[in-house]
Chains A and B, each alone.
Chain A
């Protein structure tokens, strides 16, 4: 199974090149792009199937020995993340066929989209710290391209802020990698996990904090989340949904991989600090969201808040916590991406993202209202939706570890999340449109948007009603973490 481990990079990369070459022919470009993403999806499913039989797909490039060559190893955690990226890529490409805020038809949109998938796939697949840095950079450059492509001045402004704040994370990461190599002489995850227990506590703390700081910037957690709410709302909807599903999750995955796997025996106070950082993200994200009236900005702040839950699960530093983190990442990707897609449908029907200028959608589109309601309740954590199971897994473990303050904040923030979702519900769906002569547009091209959004909703409902297989998968994934 050596070739399979390289597919998360190879397939999107080939698709990226193919779509870039076909830039003169938009139809061919779209067809190639679907072909590529479906191949990616098939490979991701195969990776999950292989990983679930405890035979992680693994390859070492150039036939070097294991700790020296660049290794790609896809265990259950990585396989689940790759599958999530491939699935979200497919959904966003389908959504792009609609006319709901899909942005300019620039010939470079599709190649760059596959570039983001390639970077994310590489980051999930690799088992080498420096290689992870390379994939972070690939993702950063492709994402900046997508930010800037629209060419509106606010988009350029957002790109600049995204670049400046993210590059700090990348530079920290590069310096941390240098220190890790100087201290241990290894870059491979497995070799590092074996070498790190022999380091002094001070050195271990220095290395873990260096890596953690960079990944916290990438995952947009408190207090370094400023780049996310400053930039996300300028993106066209399908790209925004993909970023919401993947970009910060790569950071969260890296935190889980370092703190839960490589540095599994790091000093306890790092996990305590991480836990309070997570609480800060949860609280400040949700308060930021309460202020805003633009649906995209509300949802962007909620991304910060939800990342807090994932980090809190990692900070619990136990198998149950790691399983909860994986479950939460998957839940949040599906739900948050779909909420952004629904926001784009709202925009198409009512003409604006700002809640003060729209309304009356419950009467005009009851199905959309139900769709939004279900996804919003899942984000809040109302049973029986995925958000409930994800929060149960996290809160169960905080209570089991006697972390009463963290439990309180986790539940309290859920309540504040309900406030924001109720605000969108009241303003966009319930109240009449501020302009009495408003009518929903008759001629729209929303078919693909509905397919994408309903598809995500069906997946969410399936996991809600049968959470056990996914929970068991997450628990099995957590068992292999932190065991060199």
Chain B
């Protein structure tokens, strides 16, 4: 059983890493989701897999016996919920990013870190990618940048 789970985790991690290393934004996000599932499976494995008894200590005994550890199942559930929320957020983020940037190629996403054009001088980020000064100072600002 544990070897089957280990194989499953191995395949899941492989698939996740393969997708994450892709240049496509959406594949990358889904890859992270799959990697998250792999992490949850690792967490699940830490609570023992054998044992079909309910996770309740019988009356008069002090040990759980052959049952699986219910604490880990609570942790797994928490991790799944958090992971789900993160996936929702990241899918919306990726969608918005693709719409605004007009590309889903990670190599073309250089808006926050533009590619240098000169060998030693870093490029200027461009006025579109800088905060807009308050309106009252607009005239001064335009002169200053010209």
- Where the two chains meet, the residues of A that have a C-beta atom closer than 8 Å to any C-beta of B are 99, 101, 103, 130, 133-134, 137, 140-141, 144, 148, 152-161, 163-164, 167, 171, 174-175, 177-179, 181-182, 229-231, 233-234, 236, 291-294, 297, 347-348, 350-354, 356-358, 433, 435, 437-441, 443-445
Contacts and interface: CB of A to CB of B under 8 A. Distances in A.
A144 B140 contact: no
Pick from A158, A159, A174, A348 the residue with the most CB of B within 10 Å.
A174
Given A156-B100, A233-B112, 11 more contacts: A134-B78, A141-B85, A144-B93, A154-B129, A164-B28, A164-B29, A171-B35, A178-B43, A230-B113, A294-B122, A435-B143
Contacts of A134: 78, 82
B111 interface: yes
Contacts of A157: 97, 101, 109-112
B86 interface: yes
A443 B46 contact: no
Interface string B22-44: 00010011001001101110111
B112 A174 contact: no
B14 interface: no
B144 interface: yes
A161 B94 CA distance: 11
Interface string B107-144: 00111110000001110110011110110110011011
A156 B101 contact: yes
Nearest to B46: A182
B101 A356 contact: no
Contacts of B111: 153-154, 156-157
B89 A141 contact: yes
A160 B125 contact: no
6 contacts: A103-B131, A153-B129, A154-B125, A156-B100, A159-B97, A179-B46
A444 B32 contact: no
B131 A174 contact: no
A174 B79 contact: yes
B131 to A, nearest CB: 5
A103 B93 CA distance: 19
A108 to B, nearest CB: 13
Nearest to A437: B143
A291 B46 contact: no
Would you list the 7 A-B pairs with minimal beta carbon distance, nearest first?
A182-B46, A154-B111, A154-B129, A441-B137, A178-B43, A158-B112, A178-B46
Contacts of A236: 131
Contact of B93 (A163, A171, A178): A163
A290 to B, nearest CB: 11
Contacts of A179: 42, 46
A178 B112 contact: no
Contacts of B97: 153, 156-157, 159-160
B112 A99 contact: no
Given A182-B45, A443-B136, A160 B144 contact: no
Nearest to A231: B112
A315 B79 CA distance: 31
B143 to A, nearest CB: 6
A171 B36 contact: yes
Given A141-B89, A157-B112, A236-B131, A164 B144 contact: no
A291 B86 CA distance: 35
